[in-house]
Amino acid sequence: MTLSRIRKELDCNSKHPLPGIRLFQDPCYPGDIYHLLASIVGPVNTPYEDCVFFLSIHLPQDYPFKPPSVLFLTPIYSASIDQRGRNCLDILKDNWTPALTIPKVLLCLQSLLSDPNPDDPLEAEIAQLYKQNPAEFERIAREKAHLHAW
């Protein structure tokens, strides 16, 4: 069931991709459908606009009953994503449901870039700057995004 579900999601994403989101098998793991790569384009009107961020996705053997592990490979300046690429998206933890798909998760991560949660951050200092000096946060985030992203 797991392999069939993953193939179906990849096929559906290939035929009907979400705007600004790409999903594909990880070439470092040829033939291993449990390791995927994705890219998301930074949302419009954010410091990440026009930047492409790459993510690594590892699917557990009991997917979709357990959530995937998703890490940002591209460094990003965000209160919701730490220096190791981990994110604080609740649907990848306690609020996971098998009704979610990998493209939907990527869409939520893309939304997290435009609507971070500075009250429950992974990076407290960045969250504090975001709340106290949004213009400076935006300047730094934009500068780092253009430095590291595609």
Residues carrying an active site annotation: 88
Distance between CA 66 and CA 60 in Å, rounded?
7
150 vs 146: CA distance, rounded Å? 7
Cβ(31)–Cβ(127) below 8 Å? no
Residue 59: DSSP 8-state: -
d(CA 149, CA 12): 27
Residues 6+ apart with CB under 8 A from 114: 43, 45, 46
Closest CA to 57 of 90, 82, 32: 32
Question: CB atoms < 10 A from the CB of 136, how many?
Answer: 11
